[in-house]
């Protein structure tokens, strides 16, 4: 993790904008014990101050997080189990030899490091340096209407550019191979970044706002040269959540970008964050769901396959990821050109 202050931007109180950069990478040795989900929550609690919490600060941060989950219907026993769950990553592990492609992850609205930790760990374990920053909402940005979408997306894109600048000098990172993944709102800054950096090799939208009916008119012509964009795009989406309705008009306007749709059956919008994986596997968070777990694994496999093909230089990886036997009816993959049939 790297802590930065952006001298070009300020918070409402005049302080330099904090940019907390969380990084996962392939490791050679893992002498330290694995992180738990609790560790990620405590990292997120330092986003504003970029300073150690101390014992009282950690206690308060965990109490706040428990209260937040409780208000959203998560049972107390499940919260404790989840916070104590070992993850895959190890803190400060020695990096594996070599240089690895960089994947920037744009969090959803209000998202923090823990929300895409499972995906980030998975990608790092398969040879990627994965980098994320907090949602601007967590730093005081306000989202009161659709009119606020462009500024919010630009702010998040700039945070990720700061993060990239912090990571590219590291010996483990290969700045000639970069991709961006955006979940929910995060797909909007991801698209802005792809437009600003034409050499980047892939954009993946996970139930993202670039394929949603919500705030569909957010992208002004001056914000992106749609005709110039040629970055390969994978848009993974679901149709089971009535609050997130697909709309592909924006994707249709990106006429020179190779676009692929992947409709996943049996997932809802919040399943695309770490909570989805946890709630599908921990009985104390609810009923374990084998179908949802299989669907999430398919999403991870599609994400990795698309990156391996376009960033890693292994085209066969996408063919393998989209093999009908591997997807087992969980996902329908469609090259963009006509709207796929509804899952309903």
Query: 285 near 74, Cβ under 8 Å?
Result: yes
Q: What is the pTM of this model?
A: 0.95
Q: How confident is the model over 245-293, as pLDDT tens digits?
A: 999 999 999 999 999 999 999 999 999 999 999 999 998 987 678 899 9
CATH of 2-28+96-335, picked from 3.40.50.1820, 1.50.10.10, 3.40.50.150, 1.10.1740.10, is 3.40.50.1820
Domain boundaries, the chain: 2-28+96-335
- Is 246 in a helix, a strand, or coil? strand
Q: How far, CA to CA in Å, does 59 sit from each of 49, 78, 91, 291?
A: 16, 18, 21, 36
Residues of the chain with pLDDT under 70: 287, 337-344
Q: What percent of the chain has pLDDT over 70?
A: 97
Spatial separation of the C-alpha atoms in residues 24 and 210, rounded to whole Å: 26
Q: How confident is the model over 191-231, as pLDDT tens digits?
A: 999 999 999 999 999 999 999 999 889 999 999 999 999 99
DSSP output for 5-48? EEEEEE-TTSPEEEEEEEEE--BS---SPEEEHHHHHHHHTTTT
CB neighbour list of residue 311: distance below 8 Å, 6 or more residues apart: 101, 103, 128, 177, 178, 179, 201, 202
């Amino acid at each position: 993790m790297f802590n930065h202050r952006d001298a070009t931007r300020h918070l409402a109180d005049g302080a330099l904008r904090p940019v907390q950069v969380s990084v996962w990478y392939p490791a050679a040795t893992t002498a330290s014990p694995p992180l738990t989900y609790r560790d990620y929550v405590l990292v997120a609690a330092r986003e504003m101050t970029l300073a150690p919490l101390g014992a009282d600060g950690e206690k308060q941060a965990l109490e706040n997080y428990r209260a937040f989950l409780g208000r959203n219907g998560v049972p107390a026993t499940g919260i404790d189990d989840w916070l104590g769950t070992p993850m895959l990553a190890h803190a400060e592990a020695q990096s594996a030899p070599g240089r690895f492609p960089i994947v920037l992850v744009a969090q959803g609205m209000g998202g923090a490091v823990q929300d895409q930790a499972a995906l980030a760990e998975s990608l790092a374990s398969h040879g990627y340096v994965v980098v994320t920053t907090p949602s601007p909402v967590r730093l005081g940005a306000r989202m009161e209407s659709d009119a606020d979408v462009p500024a919010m997306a630009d702010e998040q894109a700039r945070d990720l550019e700061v993060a990239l600048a912090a990571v590219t000098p590291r010996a483990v990172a290969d700045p000639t191979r970069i991709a961006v993944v955006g979940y929910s709102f995060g797909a909007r800054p991801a698209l802005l970044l792809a437009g600003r950096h034409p050499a980047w090799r892939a954009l993946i939208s996970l139930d993202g706002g670039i394929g949603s009916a919500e705030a569909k008119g957010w992208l002004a012509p001056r914000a992106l040269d749609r005709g110039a964009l040629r970055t390969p795009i994978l848009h993974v989406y679901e149709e089971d959540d009535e609050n997130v309705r697909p709309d592909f008009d924006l994707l249709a306007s990106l006429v020179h970008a190779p676009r692929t749709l992947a409709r996943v059956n049996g997932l809802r919008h919040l399943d695309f964050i770490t909570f989805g994986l946890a709630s599908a596997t921990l009985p104390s968070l609810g009923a374990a769901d084998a179908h949802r777990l299989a669907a999430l694994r398919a999403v991870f496999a599609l994400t990795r396959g698309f990156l391996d093909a376009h960033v890693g230089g292994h085209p066969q990886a996408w063919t393998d990821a989209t093999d009908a036997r591997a997807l087992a009816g969980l996902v329908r993959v469609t090259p963009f050109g006509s709207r796929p049939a509804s899952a309903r």
